[in-house]
Each structure stands twice: as structure tokens, then as C-alpha cells.
């Protein structure tokens, strides 16, 4: 039963979806404060490579090495986000162009690949990798075993984050302030909220989460470093935030859905089932489905009712009110 296609697909949807979930939650925080960061793909790659490097370099027990690797990945992602934050918040550069610049700078042909080559990380398996957290007996339970109980600790951390961010944005003072900053920065400023500080903080945390998402790939999902290993996950995460109408709970649903789509091709190949005419079709499915979902989410009345933060993508200039 646990080997049936549906269970395996859902279980791998959760596993493949976790990097997307971390990155999407990070992007959600940044966007809720009004900062659009299209550099997710770049930040994920830098987090992925630095996390992998930390895992290789520290000679400490597995648990500590992995914890350090996640911290390093988060820091690396935050440093990348800081570049974007400085450009768009302090220097008021165009957020779209700056985000693209970040992806080009850090992405598959840039810093991440430079670091990977310079630190010689390619072509070897990770020394320590995340494995299932709970005891074997629980993992073997029918259905819930593989899907819920057989996952690694990062999956459980991401669940805590979903709940935590949801509560933060709706039930705490700083969370409400962030939403004010994202919707109407001048009103927030009038209330005495420090717009710049909020935007910096959330962009940096967003970058840290994208870094963790990247490290989830190189330390848990496919424990190795290959240049450009994210393969567009960062972009799917950006799309996911739109699809989720800027809500953390829906991010989780969307991430697992896209995760399952990414898992479809390898899983069907492993079982030598062909879905439709070609490999081409199954491989393109995650990208095409993302496009489709974007169209559905963006078209018509949906956008007006559950729209984006009002000030998303615009710099706040106090004098220019």
C-alpha cells in the first residue's frame, strides 16, 4: 500500500515541495513588506552551495554539522538579500531589475557556480544528509507513514514556520505593522512605524529562508552539489506566492502540489509508466502547470479580491508623498 503510486507521489510531493515552501514563505514575508525580490533562484543557489560547503568542512557529529550547514545557508541567503535590500530600499532602484540582477549575479552562471568550483564541491555526495526523523516503526504505518511520519526534520520545521508566520501576520503587533508597511507605507510611517527597518528585516529573513530552501535540496532531497541544481525552483516559489494569494497556509498546499509535479517525471520513469507521448511532456509539466496556475490566479476577479500588497514593488520615498 505504501508503494502505491498515489502514496509515493504525495510523499515525494511533500519532500520535493519543502524547498519550494521555505523559499515561498521567505518571498511572502518580503512581499508582505512591499519588497518584490525576484532573486529567489539566486539566493537559493547560494544557500544550497554554502550549506553543502559547511556540511563538508566542519568535522563535527552529524547533527551539529547539519545544524551548522542550515545556519550557514540561511546567512548566505540573507547576505544575498541584503544586496537587493540595499539597492531597492536605500538606493531606490527598480525592484524588478535589481531582483533579476541578483539572480544573474548569484545564479547558475554566477556566484553559486563560482563558489562551487572554487571550493571544489562538485561530483561528490554530501558527507551528512538529512534522513527521516522518526523511528522506523512509525514510518511503516500505512499511508501516514511515508507521507507524514517518514520525513526529515526540515519538513517539520517548515510546518512550524507556516503556522508561525500565519500567526505572526495576523495576531501580533509587528506582523500587523509589516502588513501596513506593505499596503500603505506612508500611512505606516505616519503611525510611527519604521518603514525602512521593517522592509530590511523582512527582506533579509526572506533571503535566509530562500537559503534554507536551497540547502534543503543539497542536503536532503538530492544530497550533492551540481551547478544550477535548483532548476527553476526559485521562480516556481515566486509564482507560488501569487498562487497562494500571499497566505502561508496556501503556500504549503501549493508547494506540495508543485513538489508532486516535480516528482512525477522521475517516479513514472522509475516505474516505466509513460504518461502521454513523451518524456518531454512529463518533464515540462511542472513549468506548464505553474504557468496555468498563474493565469488562473491572476485573471479576472480573483486578483481584485485577494490582491497583492498595495505597495508591492515600489520604493518608499518619504518626501515624495
Q: Which residues bind another protein (CB under 8 A)?
A: 38, 83, 86-87, 91-94, 96-98, 100-118, 227, 231-232, 235-236, 238-239, 242, 278-280, 283-284, 287-288, 290-291, 294-295, 297-300, 303, 317, 319-320
Q: Of the two residues 65 and 108, which places its CB atom closer to another protein in the complex?
A: 108
Q: Of the two residues 32 and 128, which places its CB atom closer to another protein in the complex?
A: 32
Instruction: Say if CB 183 and CB 309 are below 8 A apart.
Output: yes
Picking from 107, 115, 124, 111, the residue whose alpha carbon sits closest to that of residue 56 is 124
Q: How far is the CB of 75 from another protein (least distance, A)?
A: 16
Alpha-carbon distance of 205 to 75, in angstroms, equals 9
Q: Of the two residues 108 and 178, which places its CB atom closer to another protein in the complex?
A: 108
Q: How far is the CB of 33 from another protein (least distance, A)?
A: 19
b/e burial code for range 79-115 (CB count within 10 A of at least 16 → b): bbbebbbebbbeeebebeebbbbbbebbbbebbbbeb
Q: Of the two residues 115 and 154, which places its CB atom closer to another protein in the complex?
A: 115
Q: How far is the CB of 15 from another protein (least distance, A)?
A: 21
Phi, psi of 125 (to 5 degrees): -75, 155
Q: How far is the CB of 205 from another protein (least distance, A)?
A: 21
- All three cell numbers of 155, joined, read 519538513
Picking from 218, 179, 171, 169, the residue whose alpha carbon sits closest to that of residue 199 is 179
Q: Of the two residues 94 and 224, which places its CB atom closer to another protein in the complex?
A: 94
Q: How far is the CB of 210 from another protein (least distance, A)?
A: 16
Q: How far is the CB of 237 from another protein (least distance, A)?
A: 10
Q: Of the two residues 139 and 269, which places its CB atom closer to another protein in the complex?
A: 269
Q: How far is the CB of 53 from another protein (least distance, A)?
A: 12
**DSSP assignment string, 27-58:** HHHHHHTT---TTHHHHHHHHHHHHHHHHHH-
Q: Of the two residues 60 and 281, which places its CB atom closer to another protein in the complex?
A: 281
Instruction: Say if CB 315 and CB 89 are below 8 A apart.
Output: yes
3-state secondary structure of 312: coil
Alpha-carbon distance of 81 to 83, in angstroms, equals 5
Amino acid at each position: 500500500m505504501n508503494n502505491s503510486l498515489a502514496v509515493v507521489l504525495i510523499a515525494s510531493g511533500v519532500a520535493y515541495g519543502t524547498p519550494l515552501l521555505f523559499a515561498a514563505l521567505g518571498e511572502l514575508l518580503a512581499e508582505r513588506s512591499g519588497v518584490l525580490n525576484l532573486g529567489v533562484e539566486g539566493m537559493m543557489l547560494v544557500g544550497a552551495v554554502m550549506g553543502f560547503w559547511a556540511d563538508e568542512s566542519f568535522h563535527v557529529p552529524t547533527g551539529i554539522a547539519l545544524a551548522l550547514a542550515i545556519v550557514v545557508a540561511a546567512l548566505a541567503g540573507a547576505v544575498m538579500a541584503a544586496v537587493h535590500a540595499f539597492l531597492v530600499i536605500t538606493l531606490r532602484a527598480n525592484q524588478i531589475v535589481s531582483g533579476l540582477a541578483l539572480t544573474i549575479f548569484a545564479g547558475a552562471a554566477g556566484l553559486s557556480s563560482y563558489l562551487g568550483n572554487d571550493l571544489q564541491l562538485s561530483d561528490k555526495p554530501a558527507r551528512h544528509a538529512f534522513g527521516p526523523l522518526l523511528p522506523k516503526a512509525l514510518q511503516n504505518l500505512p499511508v501516514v507513514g511515508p507521507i507524514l511520519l517518514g520525513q526529515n526534520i526540515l519538513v517539520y520545521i517548515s510546518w512550524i514556520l507556516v503556522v508561525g508566520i500565519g500567526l505572526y501576520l495576523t495576531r501580533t503587533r509587528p506582523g500587523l505593522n509589516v502588513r501596513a508597511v506593505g499596503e500603505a507605507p506612508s500611512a505606516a510611517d505616519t503611525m510611527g512605524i519604521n518603514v525602512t527597518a521593517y522592509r530590511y528585516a523582512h527582506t533579509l529573513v526572506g533571503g535566509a529562508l530562500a537559503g534554507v530552501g536551497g540547502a534543503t535540496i543539497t542536503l536532503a532531497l538530492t544530497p550533492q552539489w551540481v551547478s544550477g541544481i535548483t532548476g527553476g525552483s526559485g521562480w516556481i516559489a515566486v509564482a507560488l506566492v501569487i498562487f497562494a494569494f500571499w497566505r502561508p497556509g496556501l503556500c504549503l498546499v501549493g508547494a506540495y502540489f508543485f513538489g508532486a509535479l516535480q516528482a512525477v517525471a522521475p517516479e513514472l520513469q522509475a516505474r516505466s509508466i509513460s504518461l502521454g507521448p513523451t518524456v518531454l511532456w512529463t518533464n515540462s509539466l511542472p513549468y506548464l502547470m505553474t504557468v496555468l496556475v498563474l493565469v488562473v490566479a491572476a485573471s479576472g476577479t480573483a486578483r481584485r479580491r485577494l490582491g497583492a500588497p498595495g505597495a508591492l514593488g515600489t520604493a518608499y520615498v518619504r518626501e515624495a508623498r
